[in-house]
Structure 1
């Protein structure tokens, strides 16, 4: 596996992500030990969920899957878990001035988890884009990528405000479907749903395409 990652030019970023994840875990455990509270330990679970889409896309890359059915099934699975990566951005809602630790410490803690989770997600999205480009034309793939990011934004809303998660598509599909259909059939009755979906989707698209632009222009690193 290590040699395959190296051959694909993926080893360095994987090591970096392991280091970033280790930092996140360490800082959250340190906070828990110093303050004798478990306030932000849940972030470790959120980060684990953010790791799943990255794991799926990495396996697709390492094993060079090119059969349509496995690619389609894994891509669908990836879509279900992808919102977990940017979801951690909304954990900033938990930032409080009257917490058991200095607010600057909690800010660094939450941002560390949020950024690490987001990087996991964005890299996995780039992987999926590479797979799709082998089957579809570039314009259609770009449209799909934009759609995935807006779908992720909608998924973030479902998780943050309606408390649904990726597993509920198996454990409670009817309840999940009911909430989703209700918002599509009566959009005007749910302005917060579509307001957050639109703005968060635009933010995620700005982040993703700005990173892609910088990646495509290595000369910018010399500025």
Structure 2
């Protein structure tokens, strides 16, 4: 299929609205985190701002791919797409920060719940927004079945990435900084799957959860377009 069959994702009014809403939601999360710092004098949840920054990266990459045109897109598609897949798990990963919810002095439990849920929501929405961009690019070139197959594989891989980050404490940059250990741990779980039931349990459960959520969001958007 010729490059002209690619349709870019221009900054239309709807796209700008999406960016504005996501930015406003991110700002709310940062205000909540900083409000907690002011209330307690402690930096307990400041790591959430870093996690939000990492969650923005795949959305920024998919936006860059979507707005690239002609030969430029062809040149950057593979490296930027690979970087997107590498950083994509950082967005839904924030859902697991709910593990940090606990009663702490100086702040109501409901406030901490609001802080973490706000950040988790942003991570999930950034993940779905960037995945929709990438799915559209695949679909325009290879068709709708390939587009949905890509989305399913990306969400399952992101769930596996969530496991690697939450339980084995790997980061995206460990692909370059610590590749041998990362490779060993991944291959070990592939060769001996029954020795690591937690790995595949989390990957499957989170993968299905993320897929159902993504399908719901896409269906809601489509139903409003048809109304």
- Regarding TM over 0.5, the answer is yes
| Structure 1 residue 31, shift from structure 2 partner | 0.3
From 66, 69, 73, give the equivalent of 1:64. Answer: 69
Residue 199 of structure 2 is matched in structure 1 by 193
CA deviations on 1:120-160 (whole Å, 9 max, x unpaired) are 11100000011111221211221121010000000000000
2:17 is aligned with 1:12 = yes
Residue 27 of structure 2 is matched in structure 1 by 22
Unaligned runs of 5+ in 2: 1-8
2:51 is aligned with 1:52 = no
Unaligned runs of 5+ in 1: none
Provide the rounded CA distance (Å) in 2 between the counterparts of 1:167 and 1:57: 19
Give the number of aligned pairs. 218
2:170 is aligned with 1:164 = yes
Residue 5 of structure 2 is matched in structure 1 by none
| Structure 1 residue 98, shift from structure 2 partner | 3.8
Q: Is the 8 A contact 2:138 2:150 kept in 1?
A: no
| Structure 1 residue 8, shift from structure 2 partner | 6.2
- Runs of 4+ displaced beyond 4 Å: none
Residue 4 of structure 2 is matched in structure 1 by none
Q: Which moved more, 1:141-150 or 1:77-86?
A: 141-150
From 2, 24, 31, give the equivalent of 2:36. Answer: 31
Q: Is the 8 A contact 2:10 2:66 kept in 1?
A: no
2:210 is aligned with 1:204 = yes
Provide the rounded CA distance (Å) in 2 between the counterparts of 1:212 and 1:65: 28
Trace 1:7-156 onto structure 2 (pairs within 5 A). 7=12, 9-64=14-69, 67-156=73-162
Q: Which moved more, 1:134-143 or 1:32-41?
A: 134-143
Q: Is the 8 A contact 1:5 1:11 kept in 2?
A: no
Across the aligned residues of Structure 1 and Structure 2, the Cα RMSD in angstroms comes to: 1.8
